[in-house]
Copies of this chain bind each other. A is one copy, B any other.
Amino acid sequence: MVNFEFCSPTKVFFGKDQEKKVGEIIKGYGASKVLLHYGGGSIKRNGLYDTVVKSLKEAGIDFVELGGVKPNPRVSLVREGIALGRREGVDFILAVGGGSTIDSAKAIGVGIPYDGDVWDFYDKSAVPAVTLPVATILTIAAAGSEMSPSSVITNEDGWFKRGLDIDLIRPVFSILNPALTCSVPAYQTACGAADIMAHIMERYFTNVDDVDYSDRLCEASMQSVIRALPKVLKNTDDYAARAEIMWTGCVAHNDLLSCGRIGDWASHMIEHEVSGIYDIAHGAGLAICFPAWMKYVYKHNITRFVQFAVRVWGVDNDFYDPEATALKGIERLENFLRYDCALPTRFSDVGIGDDRFEEMADKATANDTKKIGNFVKLSKQDIVNIYSLAK
């Protein structure tokens, strides 16, 4: 186990009807003007928008709003939010939506008090020192942004998708009502589950020894998703199963599962280039890229992949042939994504050819070392090979 610091102060309000008290809760933070940030019209169609506005008004909270967040949230809208927030004297941001809306809100939160351009924080030319408080009402279990120190934003100027990771941007509170996710269609639900699984697997595949407890926490988290997801896809109104996925998604990315470990994160970077260019759902991109990454790197530590196969997937351990056991685990993951989640697991499933593999691999490795990943350090050529395994 390596030394670590861990602080996850986001207050979680979990369960039925919790969103109805959002105004009262925000009042407790002494906010004078709130920026209500959301995505498309879904929260207006399903009544959540009205519930939130009613609660804010009843609590006497003044607010302005900015909708229009798209999947793979754009820096242009973030800049618009920053300008609006400054103009209106906003001192609190409430994100109502999924990971894209929350990530966008976090970017606005650090952007408003900053003199320079907010993209500085994403291209690592500056580090934010302060933020406005950001709170969330989550509408899809996926990104884990509701409790995480992360925000991922896409810059349309070159279609770069880049992340900011700093404890400063953890939300002050998050409201998680599983019932709000019941209207999420099957495909998006499955993409969310793939994202949650990926957040856990990025942490699970580590070279750090003696991390038994967090191994087990990761395994517990994966098993929860594997059990609950098919229930939800069979009955989208299954509150109990929605609750399991929503809470797992939250814990999966609040960094508890990272404690004492060094995660890999190559697959996320490999995928970011795909959804950055092609604008497919991040979860779908992960369902394509993660199994390919595994097939490319498993020989680096077959024992870890055997553990993954046996403990997570219940694969019978073939003690005569560890490699066969390891490969069964990867196969089980791919089958889960393809058949239980009904997600694409190959580029050909979503009509993406190999013509931009080189370009994407180039962008993924555009850093000083020209390599990514910790479990195995991957070069541009490695990434092209991984993309090719997912053709």
Contact = CB atoms under 8 A, between A and B. Distances in A.
Interface of A: 1-16, 18, 209-210, 212-214, 216-217, 219-221, 223-224, 227-228, 240-241, 243-244, 247-248, 251, 256, 259-260
A377 to B, nearest CB: 24
A217 B252 CA distance: 12
A108 B148 CA distance: 33
B221 A213 contact: yes
A312 to B, nearest CB: 11
Contact of A5 (B1, B9, B13): B13
A10 B7 contact: yes
Nearest to A248: B213
Nearest to A214: B247
A240 B244 CA distance: 31
A237 B13 CA distance: 41
Contacts of A3: 14-16, 18
Contact of A9 (B9, B209, B223): B9
A381 B208 CA distance: 51
B12 A5 contact: yes
A210 B14 contact: no
A9 B7 contact: yes
B14 A7 contact: no
B240 A228 contact: no
B14 A244 contact: no
A1 B243 CA distance: 7
Contact of A7 (B12, B16, B210): B12
A136 B180 CA distance: 39
A227 B256 CA distance: 20
Q: Which of A209, A213, A244 has the most CB of B within 10 A?
A: A213
Nearest to A9: B9
A29 B243 CA distance: 37
B243 A260 contact: yes
Contacts of A8: 8-9
Contacts of A6: 11-12, 14
6 contacts: A3-B14, A3-B16, A4-B12, A8-B8, A210-B240, A216-B220
Nearest to A173: B7
A180 to B, nearest CB: 13
Nearest to A14: B4
